[in-house]
Structure 1
Amino acid sequence: MTVIKAATALLPEGWAQDICVTIGVDGTITALEPAPPDIAVDILLPAPSNVHSHAFQRAMAGLTETRGPSGRDSFWTWRQLMFRFLDRLTPADVQAIAAQVQVEMLEAGYAACGEFHYLHHQPGGSPYANLAEMSHAICAAASDSGIGLTLLPVLYQQGGVDGRALGPGQIRFGNDPDRFLALREGAGRALSQLPDDAVLGTAPHSLRAVTAEALNSLAETTTGPFHMHLAEQVGEVEEIASAYGARPVEWLLDTCPPDRRWCLIHCTQMEPHETAALAQTGAVAGLCPITEASLGDGIFDGVRWLDSGGALAVGSDSNIRIALSEELRQLEYSQRLRDRGRAVLAAPGGSTGRRLYEAAATGGAQAMARKAGRIAPGQLADLVALDGSAADLTGRRGDALLDTWIFARDDRLVREVWAAGRHMVRGGRHVARDTVLAGYRACLARLAEAL
């Protein structure tokens, strides 16, 4: 049992002072009552989940910022560089990279990670002897980092909605539905070695990469979180509309309606009526504002989504920057640039930071099937403590603390992080940072030699 005393804490009913949070041996919050503290913190918040990560892409951050010799660079040209890079990765590389990614997530204030995991096979496309070898590498990384893991094995069947074969850069992803289910079962066995808060989900990659039949079958026969890319690129929307006679969101709503267990990633290419209708299904919009800006995807219609009652969460996707406060800031600033206004996502008379932060915490917990997102008895102790002694927080109270952190400072304010009660960040440093970083450096050195 651990007791945290917070000078200020954000509870479901609002800000409170001098709160004692008791964490039981099972990693849940058992009480908010006075008790002798084991640790005192300044500002205690529920720690959000990072709902969308491709861990291996962290190792190629900074390598795709050179313009090609002709034409216009885009997501599609970036993807070709990504395909060439991933052909070099071994399970040991993936474990080292994922562990570093997860350490950085925890140090940024995230308590859990949704790993959208599609790198399954050997270079050349042959399965490993253990079909879920790469899933085991992700789980081993989570054991090293202590992060809460929702593992989302990805079904990737085809190179496009026309059913064409996977290209050379995609063959490490590919499975038919039967082999995918066997792989998913193996991923579940890997997860069973982690603490009880680990969760197994399912991720049909996108409408262009899976068949309609496979999508419907997975939605009907699997349990747990269900994540999918949707309406990210103009080219993708045009391809789906040409093949299916409807835009991606329209087709999904008519053919395989999502519900609260779904998390739909990006959704940057939606019409207003699609945004409102999808929001009302209860599905979470999994937004990755830094990556979406990096790839030139477009701007999610956050104003209409929230006004329609939609749930949202954030993720670091390509992991070029792992920065919780920056994801929220980029989300709001993209709306300001589009609409030429300020405090666009705030409720009338309310705080922008508070609305964004609480939405990300509760929406992330929903998307990850994780009983978290609030500081309350019975919830997992996914908690983050900020440094209240920071100069810019002097004299600030309540919502101004969140507004200052998100819009005027950065994640260096993060001092302590607990993931299901595991105290993984202490004094701003992950407890295994040095060991994990050494493994990551060695991995990068091997990749540099190979490339």
Structure 2
Amino acid sequence: MRKLVFSEALLPDGWRRDVRIEIQADGRIASVTPDAEPGRLVALPGLPNLHSHAFQRGMAGLTEHAGDSEDSFWTWRELMYRFLAHLTPDDVEAIATLAYAEMLEAGFTRVGEFHYLHHAPDGSRYADHAEMAARIAAAAATTGINLTLLPCFYAHGEIGGAPPVPGQRRFLNDLDSFAALAEGSRRAIAALPGATFGLAPHSLRAATIEEIRAVRAMAHRDEPLHIHAAEQVKEVEAAQRILGQPPIAALLDAGLVDARTCLIHATHGTAAELARVADARAVIGLCPVTESNLGDGTFPAISYRAASGRFGVGTDSNVLISAPAELRTLEYSQRLAHRTRNALAPRGGSTAVALWQAALTGGAQALAAAPAGIAPGAFADLVLLDPAAPALAARHGDRILDSLVFAARDGAISEVWVRGARVVEAGAHPARAAAERRVAAVLTRILAA
């Protein structure tokens, strides 16, 4: 048994002092004993990042120049299509390695990779149909992050089965080819410790209800289903016009929303739809930093939480990777919308603790990674803080996490452990420097062309 001791730790039932954790050889926690013996560092459970497009880390910062017409998600998407047209499998592995190292440094210990960059630039398949999935798995192996691979089904360009546009050709499969891709992707992660698997029909823009139902039937028992829904007003309007109802209602009425479902964004879901999502015990995947960057809108988190709705957070476009920043941006969005403070905290409770615990529980459910947290049976996925850091000095319990989320600068996280092994030390991941050099070479080649 490996033994770790902490001055304080956030356990499922709250903060406890002088906590001893014993870890089995497989990386799972065998026992947690409070009031045992003192340690120096403070332990938090690592957060799941339930929605990532790793390759988009390479284009961060390239879309912040105003165009000749009004900018939106749709103009951003055109630049994304142009960028991904240049990426080789080596490029994707390099960018994903950097993104995953950054995620670990920033408090995420599992990533849900919503993976749709499947084919060569001309749309042809690689000799290994799951080549790109294998590169994602390689990046996870290099960094040590837990991976939930979510290969994406993409067949159309718009709601109603419209033809895809040329920029989407690297994503496309029919149901038969996707079934083969899914099996190849399962094989790609078979030897990866801590890995789980799910399927991801991209959205009602890219898959019909019938195709989504067919993809769901391909899932093995307990494998989750992730899908973008109600991310954009234009998407909602198109669904209303073509399907006669908005996207979330269409998925609900088709019986495609339950505890295995993660609806990504759901920004423009109605109160009635979101109440039904909460009743179905599904998870909504919120990506507040990306949603803010793209100008998507503000999710009605206060009313959704009041309905006991489940959620997790993701980094989506990876424009800036930070677990505290996702939670902070979510809370600030509600403060701005409702002109209040501590909008998502229970009465008399800590905002940061409420958000961290909810994102842990919802993210673990969405990524088929339960149990989670600092508890027997869960992986020892730990984020460790130095209480002597200026932003955390003289703080205990809730105030430590409140200060991390709302007041600490980069570097407040000292160590990160995944499955009982240290992968970040002194705030740095050992693979990051090499990954940065590789990505710099990739971007120099692409941007100088």
TM range (shorter): over 0.9
Q: Is 1:28 aligned to residue 25 of structure 2? A: no
Whole-angstrom distance in 2 between the partners of 1:256 and 1:125:
32
Residues 43 and 386 in structure 1, CA contact (< 8 A), matched pair in contact too: yes
Residues 285 and 311 in structure 2, CA contact (< 8 A), matched pair in contact too: yes
How many Å apart are 1:194 and its aligned residue?
1.2
Match of 1:119 among 117, 120, 134: 117
How many Å apart are 1:411 and its aligned residue?
4.2
Give 1:414's aligned amino acid.
Answer: I
Q: Counterpart of 1:151?
A: 149
Residues 48 and 373 in structure 1, CA contact (< 8 A), matched pair in contact too: no
How many Å apart are 1:407 and its aligned residue?
1.0
3-state SS of 2:216 partner: helix
Whole-angstrom distance in 1 between the partners of 2:394 and 2:34:
26
Residues 325 and 410 in structure 1, CA contact (< 8 A), matched pair in contact too: no
3-state SS of 2:17 partner: strand
3-state SS of 1:169 partner: helix
Whole-angstrom distance in 2 between the partners of 1:229 and 1:181:
20
Give 1:116's aligned amino acid.
Answer: F
Residues 9 and 45 in structure 1, CA contact (< 8 A), matched pair in contact too: yes
- More divergent stretch after superposition (204-213 vs 407-416): 407-416
Q: Counterpart of 1:62?
A: 61
3-state SS of 1:67 partner: coil
3-state SS of 1:160 partner: coil
Q: Is 1:201 aligned to residue 193 of structure 2? A: no
Structure 2 counterparts to residues 147-296 of structure 1, below 5 A: 147-195=145-193, 197-223=194-220, 224-296=223-295
How many Å apart are 1:42 and its aligned residue?
1.6
Deviations 1:330-356 (A, max 9, x none): 000000100011111011111111100
3-state SS of 2:64 partner: coil
Whole-angstrom distance in 2 between the partners of 1:230 and 1:31:
40
Deviations 1:22-42 (A, max 9, x none): 1111010011248999x9542
Q: Counterpart of 1:141?
A: 139
Deviations 1:395-433 (A, max 9, x none): 211111111111111342111111222311111111322
- Cα 1:40/1:94, change in 2 over 3 Å: farther
Residues 160 and 243 in structure 2, CA contact (< 8 A), matched pair in contact too: no
How many Å apart are 1:256 and its aligned residue?
2.5
Whole-angstrom distance in 1 between the partners of 2:208 and 2:327:
34
Q: Counterpart of 2:349?
A: 350
What is the TM-score of this pair, normalised by structure 1?
Answer: 0.96
3-state SS of 1:111 partner: strand
Whole-angstrom distance in 2 between the partners of 1:238 and 1:409:
41
Match of 2:70 among 69, 72, 90: 72
CA-based RMSD: 1.6
Q: Percent identity?
A: 49
5+ residue gaps, structure 2, are none
3-state SS of 2:108 partner: coil
Provide the aligned length of Structure 1 versus Structure 2.
Answer: 447
Q: Counterpart of 2:104?
A: 106
Q: Is 1:329 aligned to residue 328 of structure 2? A: yes
Deviations 1:144-184 (A, max 9, x none): 11100000000001011232221110000000011001001
How many Å apart are 1:310 and its aligned residue?
1.0
How many Å apart are 1:247 and its aligned residue?
0.9
Whole-angstrom distance in 2 between the partners of 1:399 and 1:54:
32
- More divergent stretch after superposition (329-338 vs 154-163): 154-163
Give 1:384's aligned amino acid.
Answer: V
Q: Counterpart of 1:442?
A: 441
Give 2:133's aligned amino acid.
Answer: S
Give 1:299's aligned amino acid.
Answer: T
How many Å apart are 1:445 and its aligned residue?
2.3
What is the TM-score of this pair, normalised by structure 2?
Answer: 0.97
Residues 17 and 35 in structure 2, CA contact (< 8 A), matched pair in contact too: no
Give 1:356's aligned amino acid.
Answer: L
Q: Counterpart of 2:89?
A: 91
Q: Counterpart of 2:309?
A: 310
